[in-house]
Structure 1
Amino acid sequence: MKRGSTWSYVIRVKDPETGESKPKWVGGFATEDEAKEARDEARVRARRGEYIDRNAITVSEYLAEWIEGHAVEVKPKTLAGYRVMIRLYIEPNIGKMRLQALRPATLTKLYRDLLTTGRKNGKGLAPNTVKHVHTVLRKALADAVLVDEILPNNPAERAKLPRVQVTEPGGVWTPAQLRQFLDTAKSHRLFAFFRLAAYSGARRGELCNLRWADVDLDVPQFRVTGSSAVIDGERIEGTTKSGRSRVVSLDAETAEILRAHRKSQTAERLRLGESWKGTADYVFTTGWGEPIYPDTVSSLMPTLIKAYNDTKPKKPLPRARLHDLRHIHATTLLLAGVPVHVVAARLGHSDPAITLRVYAHVISEQMASAADIFASSISRAS
């Protein structure tokens, strides 16, 4: 039925408490076809006992309520990431839509548009960023179904992420290139940070949060108990990504490098005296004793790479990120035949399946040589 400039429909819905069937009028549709399509969907849901009253809340309005409801239970860094995805990529594109008008096709188009023209300059977003947008929507819309009961189903579950060429981690540097980088970094006061990152596979935030109380150089090993990050310019500390602590073993040379680093740090503290600003026994600090910010070491890495390349070597070091040291660590161990579950525990993956997925290309290389290894072992047997 047309009411004014919009169309409405009516269906009968059974009250779950009384069992009595009552008419439900729903309006606001721009065309007759839209009203009929919505009516047919509503009839199906009513027969299943899944009917949900029409709600005018928009995507932006719902996400604003949803994000505030997660302010306590989600890690601050994760929450900040959710807010960025919502503010930059979700609200400008679908924020004004009614939440109940979302369809899988709507989100599929959103992901495709973000991948091709999602930036302010008209260029596409990185595939991982589009994936993060999908993750936020999938979580929020799941709550709209299960908690708030505004949606009958989650359209993000059936939306299609664009197929993209996945860049395999760990292929940036060879072990020889890693040695060249570390040789260059030896002259810097934070050399021990890069050495520990490369030789332990620990995350940036985990090392920035590391205390000497968690380091045992006699065994040698260290315990990862938390992580640090910067949100809105403020350094914060929290749990590890998996929420669990872990122990990471060290080689003897890295232990000696950490001993030398501790001596240098002690000398700095004695030299500065009352000017020393350290309030905890952080392993990696500024020259004034304050804990270093994660971005400090990330921005230092390209500076060190440039310092090496400025020496005009025959083979300059390719560009690499600090996180690539973690990938090099994992790749080297896997190619050396270290069991996947051991590598997973070392990296802090909550499940070896994560390691298998991230480093599938390395596992494939091992599988390709498995037949030759078996045949060689049998032929050498006496």
Structure 2
Amino acid sequence: MRGSVFKRCQCRTPDGKRVKSCRKPHGSWSFVVDAGIDPKTGKRKQPTRGGFKTKTEAEEALTAELAKLNAGTWTDDRRMTLGKWLDQWIEALIAAKKSPNTIKNYRGHIRDAWRPQLGHKLLRDLRRSHIEDVLADLALPIEGERPAGNVGRRIEQRTPATIDGYRRTIRAALSAAQRAGLISLNPAVGRMDSIPVADAIDEDDEPEVWQPEETARFLEYVFDDRLSALYELAAYAGLRRAELCGLRWSDLDADGAGLRVRQTIVSVTRTQVTPEQAKCPVCGEVHVGRLFKAPKSRKGRRWVPLAKPAQDALARHREAQQEEREFYGIDYRDHGLVFCRPDGIPLRPDRVTVEFEQHVAACGLPPCPLHDTRHGACSLMLAGGVPIEIVQMILGHSTPEVTRRVYAHLMRSETAAQIEQAAKLLTHHRPARKAAVSNP
């Protein structure tokens, strides 16, 4: 492993050759490293770096590179900038058919922060301090004029969770660069001091969850709706919207006691998916705004038990769907779905949300997002004494810790009741005493 330094200038000898040892105070110094044979091409790898003002600076930089070679931590980034790598990374994710919504979030983070602030930097020059500076900037209040049009919610300041999402994006991109041998260490790994610590949750900020009597009131209101069984499954089983839309009759147990989550239908736009991804796996056509896909994680592929009311609702729904099938005859577009349009075409998940919100407003209940019906299902399970580990598996969380963190506010009343029951084991052995009367 060898290297050398040399000077770059425009000086030439009388016969037109470059001067190797120019002593004039101009030009810059560079170094070249002999990094061995490239196993892919069979050619010698001789990366060069320049721009050093003095020979001493170039020699010190060469020494540092040789030290990396000797330690086995040297990498050749091929003069790849972060911006160019992020483009390649996104294209690789699309080719690997990653979740369109995940790619959409990555694109947004890259567009808003990583490309404008660090896109010009070479991967080898990227340091942890650069990542910290960008995250610190994201934590500042958002100032300036807001763009016109439909650009999402207007916020005054990003939350710590949102900022950490930006960090997870750059961490994932640089982890891929590390696996590709472009960098030796990922500077975005680990806790970043520039991300603010989330404040303790204020009681006023906790999500509003329907009480059992409110959920029952809603289910009774939509009892005659053609999608009433969908709302029953959301309330009793805690299924996500995509899981409800993608549920097939073949996913249900023969005895109807449970179901397996093996397919989802997510809401997408035309620009989020490739033409190949947009094709329906059943009929081969393109259903605008809908994408069939498997659950995002292994934990998402799970078995979910069904309560008796949910089973009864599905039985009624099957009969109604059979009548629709007979009505449409040869025009029925069977996709094997439990919940679909009257002609068999898959539902648009965003339309399911709209109809749910219309029902909520019509029956006079407090606003509650469709996704938050999972909170109510979790509360019912906890109140029924279902262990947190089982609740975690039913809801499809990665670990019980995720369930505890997400639903900590729901567990308070159940925990208080359990503590009271435990206390009775001791207090029933103690004599009853009259309450102390305070002097006026």
- What is the TM-score normalised by the length of structure 2? 0.70
Counterpart for residue 377 of structure 1: 425
Query: Would the alpha carbon gap of residues 334 and 267 (structure 1) be closer, same or farther in structure 2, given more than 3 Å must change?
Result: same
CA distance in 1, matches of 2:384, 2:69: 59
Counterpart for residue 154 of structure 1: 186
Q: CA deviation at 1:37?
A: 10
Q: CA deviation at 1:56?
A: 2.7
What's the secondary structure of 2:265's corresponding residue?
Answer: strand
Q: Is the 8 A contact 2:80 2:122 kept in 1?
A: yes
Amino acid at match of 2:186: N
Which structure dedicates a bigger proportion of its chain to helix?
1
Q: Is the 8 A contact 1:207 1:227 kept in 2?
A: yes
Match of 1:259 among 315, 320, 330: 315
Q: Is the 8 A contact 2:208 2:368 kept in 1?
A: no
Counterpart for residue 238 of structure 1: 293
Counterpart for residue 164 of structure 1: 198
Q: CA deviation at 1:207?
A: 1.2
CA distance in 2, matches of 1:266, 1:49: 67
Match of 2:363 among 304, 308, 313: 308
Counterpart for residue 372 of structure 2: 324
Please state if 1:197 is matched with 2:234: yes
Amino acid at match of 1:324: D
CA distance in 2, matches of 1:249, 1:101: 53
Q: Matches of residues 5-84 of structure 1 in structure 2 within 5 Å?
A: 26-28=49-51, 45=68, 48-53=71-76, 55-73=78-96, 75-77=98-100, 78-84=102-108
CA distance in 1, matches of 2:127, 2:346: 47
Counterpart for residue 312 of structure 1: none
Q: Is the 8 A contact 2:232 2:309 kept in 1?
A: no
Q: CA deviation at 1:342?
A: 0.8
CA distance in 2, matches of 1:111, 1:351: 28
CA distance in 2, matches of 1:30, 1:347: 61
Q: How many residues get paired?
A: 367
Amino acid at match of 2:181: E
CA distance in 1, matches of 2:218, 2:52: 63
Amino acid at match of 1:190: L
CA distance in 1, matches of 2:174, 2:260: 37
Amino acid at match of 1:163: V
CA distance in 2, matches of 1:36, 1:363: 63
Q: Is the 8 A contact 1:221 1:247 kept in 2?
A: yes
CA distance in 2, matches of 1:351, 1:230: 26
Counterpart for residue 106 of structure 1: 130
Query: Would the alpha carbon gap of residues 8 and 226 (structure 1) be closer, same or farther in structure 2, given more than 3 Å must change?
Result: farther
Query: Would the alpha carbon gap of residues 267 and 12 (structure 1) be closer, same or farther in structure 2, given more than 3 Å must change?
Result: closer
Residue deviations 1:33-54, cap 9 Å, x none? x999978975764563323346
What's the secondary structure of 2:303's corresponding residue?
Answer: strand
Amino acid at match of 1:253: P
Q: CA deviation at 1:348?
A: 1.9
CA distance in 1, matches of 2:326, 2:340: 14
Residue deviations 1:302-340, cap 9 Å, x none? 22222223xxxxxx51x3221111122123323443211
Q: Is the 8 A contact 1:111 1:162 kept in 2?
A: no
RMSD: 3.9
Amino acid at match of 1:257: A
CA distance in 1, matches of 2:59, 2:136: 29
CA distance in 2, matches of 1:252, 1:63: 50
Amino acid at match of 1:99: L
Counterpart for residue 288 of structure 1: 343
Counterpart for residue 117 of structure 1: 142
Q: CA deviation at 1:263?
A: 1.9
* Higher mean C-alpha displacement, 181-190 vs 357-366: 357-366
The share of aligned pairs that are identical, in percent, is 30
Higher relative contact order (CA 8 A, sep 6+): 1
Match of 2:259 among 202, 213, 222: 222
What's the secondary structure of 1:155's corresponding residue?
Answer: coil
* Higher mean C-alpha displacement, 281-290 vs 299-308: 299-308
Counterpart for residue 173 of structure 2: 140
Gaps of 5+ in 1: 310-315
CA distance in 2, matches of 1:23, 1:93: 30
Counterpart for residue 188 of structure 1: 225
Q: Is the 8 A contact 1:59 1:98 kept in 2?
A: yes
Residue deviations 1:242-270, cap 9 Å, x none? 23632211121221122222222222222
Gaps of 5+ in 2: 1-5, 10-25, 39-44, 148-153, 271-277, 279-289, 430-440
- What is the TM-score normalised by the length of structure 1? 0.79
Query: Would the alpha carbon gap of residues 190 and 103 (structure 1) be closer, same or farther in structure 2, given more than 3 Å must change?
Result: same
